């Protein structure tokens, strides 16, 4: 960009009431030019759209607007709101409103921007862009700034990928959040307490498009790409909630280091007698997975026929459950080792000793699954290796003292699991 820019406050706007014609009020307050970019504070959009509500309890209003809590510290909550934006308090604002009332964000900020743009074009014939802005804090940065929460008439992202920089290096990841840059620039002349809710950026006519465009959606990072979707203490709770059994995986390979990080979390689990009763066999090659699964299938089919007396149809139905392991791009076989267990002649104590170690491997596997969920992987812990341990040990060349405790299928979910209702703890608790 080489042309000069002007950032102009729009002065003289009246106090905005419900059903106010924002497009007409702005067009009357400032002489707009073709290619101007309007920056409109969401507060006046909310007022015009009747999003002022009586709320004795602001927290209840936040509850109603939030769809997911990302982080909480004291009374401060970072949440994802119904528009998909991650922000403090779901955008519920108690400033510059009458006592006992709060302002909610517009229901459809993109729609609001399109309506203002269309009205201005109708009244003036000018083709402008409109950005609806709101104030955000930012992770790892102090201070607030305005960002775009709705847009019409411009591309909110400028994609530089495939271009070269001044040294001839190809740009691989660079995408500029143009709408956010404009929102922050406009805030320099709007301010927070000056009663100037609209600004005009002039000098970027080339950025204004004939069509309304995709709105703000390209700026909102998809949840599956969000590396920072979890907050502080919420990270563990949310990762536990995210841990779901996934049976359909994409073809995307699993990063081996992600699994190793999960194993590092697994081995922090509690264990009896200061032991480390876990081993994890990582099947990273297709050949190793196929060899193991073929041998397990043959052993299962033989035992179900000869030992359990099942017919072929029943055998086929039962062994089909192992398909989830074949569809996964990565397998982990957790093994229990009893090194360090106390020998007890009494069979009851010996059984309890093994149960203690079995609980430990379960805790370790849970750590593994939760950590993988936090990395965006889906998992399915399948018990099948426990029914043919000798076969597994033989194929994988494992010591006789290693007891395979199922197998964990790992991969990127083919589709995001459906939300499930929260499960309260009350019915599982007994207090004495």
pLDDT digits (tens, 9 = 90+) for 329-344: 999 999 999 999 999 9
Q: Is residue 1 pLDDT above 60, yes or no?
A: no
CB 39 within 8 A of CB 198: yes
What's the predicted TM-score (pTM) here? 0.61
- Tell me, what's the pLDDT at 78? 85
Region 141-151: what's the mean pLDDT?
Answer: 93
Domain 6-51+106-225: CATH class, spelled out: alpha beta
The answer on pLDDT for 225 being more than 80 is: no
Give, for 228, the enclosing helix (H) or strand (E). Answer: none
- Of 206, 183, 224, 252, nearest in space to 41 by CA: 183
pLDDT level of residue 202 (50, 70, 90 thresholds): very high
Share of the chain above pLDDT 90, in %: 59
- Per-residue pLDDT, averaged over 290-317, amounts to 89
| Band of pLDDT at residue 293, cut at 50, 70 and 90 | very high
3-state secondary structure of 260: helix
3-class state of residue 111 by DSSP: helix
CATH 3.30.70.270 describes domain 234-411: no
Residue ranges covered by each domain of the chain: 6-51+106-225, 64-102, 234-411
Q: What is the pLDDT of residue 175?
A: 79
197 has a pLDDT exceeding 70: yes
Element (DSSP H or E) covering residue 213: none
Averaged pLDDT, 309-326: 86
Above 60 in pLDDT, residue 61? Answer: yes
Over residues 25-51, the mean pLDDT reads: 95
- Residues 217 and 152 sit within 8 Å (Cβ to Cβ): no
Nearest residue to 150 via CA among 122, 135, 170, 130: 130
Two domains, one topology: 6-51+106-225 and 234-411? no
The span from the CA of 373 to the CA of 376, in Å, is 5
Question: Which two tokens mark 134?
Answer: 């709101």
Give the whole-number percent of the chain exceeding pLDDT 70. Answer: 91
pLDDT surpasses 60 at 83:
yes
pLDDT for the residue numbered 101 = 84
Candidate from 195-209, 301-315, 354-368 with smallest mean pLDDT: 301-315
Strand pairing class (37-41; 129-138): parallel
pLDDT of amino acid 146: 93
Residue 168: pLDDT over 70: no
CB 132 within 8 A of CB 150: yes
Other residues' Cβ atoms within 10 Å of the Cβ of residue 258 = 17
Burial 74-105 (b: 16+ CB within 10 A, else e): eeebbbbbebbbbbbbbbbbeeebeeeebbbb
Rounded to an integer, the average pLDDT of 298-312 is 88
User: For residue 170, with 0-12 CB atoms within 10 Å meaning exposed, 13-18 middle and 19 or more buried, which class applies?
Assistant: exposed
Of the ranges 42-46, 101-105, 216-220, the best mean pLDDT one: 42-46
pLDDT band for 172, please (50, 70, 90 cuts). Answer: low
DSSP code of residue 428: G
Angle between helices 286-306 and 312-319 (to 10 degrees): 150
């Amino acid at each position: 960009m080489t042309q000069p820019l002007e950032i102009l406050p729009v002065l003289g706007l009246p106090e905005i009431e419900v059903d106010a014609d924002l497009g007409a009020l702005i067009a009357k307050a400032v002489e707009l030019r073709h290619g101007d970019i309007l920056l409109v504070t969401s507060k006046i959009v909310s007022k015009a759209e009747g999003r002022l509500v009586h709320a004795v309890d602001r927290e209840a209003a936040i509850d109603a607007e939030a769809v997911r809590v990302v982080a909480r510290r004291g009374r401060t909550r970072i949440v994802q709101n119904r528009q998909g934006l991650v922000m403090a308090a779901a955008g519920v604002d108690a400033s510059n409103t009458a006592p006992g009332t709060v302002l909610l964000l517009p229901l459809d900020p993109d729609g609001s921007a399109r309506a203002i743009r269309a009205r201005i074009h109708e009244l003036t014939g000018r083709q402008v862009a409109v950005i609806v802005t709101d104030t955000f804090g930012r992770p790892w940065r102090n201070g607030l700034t305005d960002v775009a929460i709705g847009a019409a008439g411009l591309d909110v992202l400028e994609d530089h990928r495939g271009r070269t920089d001044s040294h001839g290096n190809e740009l691989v990841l660079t995408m500029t959040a143009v709408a956010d840059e404009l929102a922050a620039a406009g805030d320099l002349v709007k301010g927070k307490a000056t009663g100037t809710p609209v600004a005009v950026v002039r000098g970027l006519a080339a950025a204004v498009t004939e069509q309304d465009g995709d709105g703000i959606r390209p700026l909102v990072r998809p949840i599956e790409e969000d590396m920072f979707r979890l907050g502080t203490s919420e990270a563990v709770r949310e990762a536990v909630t995210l841990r779901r059994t996934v049976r359909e995986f994409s073809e995307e390979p699993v990063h081996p280091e992600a699994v190793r990080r999960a194993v590092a979390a697994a081995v922090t689990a509690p264990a009896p007698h200061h032991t480390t009763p876990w081993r994890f066999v990582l099947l990273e090659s297709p050949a190793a997975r196929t060899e193991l699964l073929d041998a397990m299938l043959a052993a299962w089919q033989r035992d179900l026929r000869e030992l359990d007396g099942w017919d072929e149809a029943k055998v086929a139905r039962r062994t089909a459950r192992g398909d989830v392991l074949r569809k996964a791009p990565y397998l982990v076989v957790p093994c229990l080792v009893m090194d360090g267990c106390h020998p007890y002649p009494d069979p009851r104590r010996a059984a309890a000793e093994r149960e203690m170690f079995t609980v430990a491997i379960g805790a370790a596997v849970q750590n593994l699954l939760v950590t993988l969920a936090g990395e965006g992987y889906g998992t399915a812990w399948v018990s099948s290796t426990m029914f043919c341990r000798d076969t597994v040990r033989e194929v994988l060349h494992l010591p006789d003292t290693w007891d395979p405790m199922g197998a964990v299928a790992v991969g990127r979910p083919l589709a995001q699991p459906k939300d499930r209702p929260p499960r309260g703890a009350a019915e599982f608790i007994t207090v004495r």
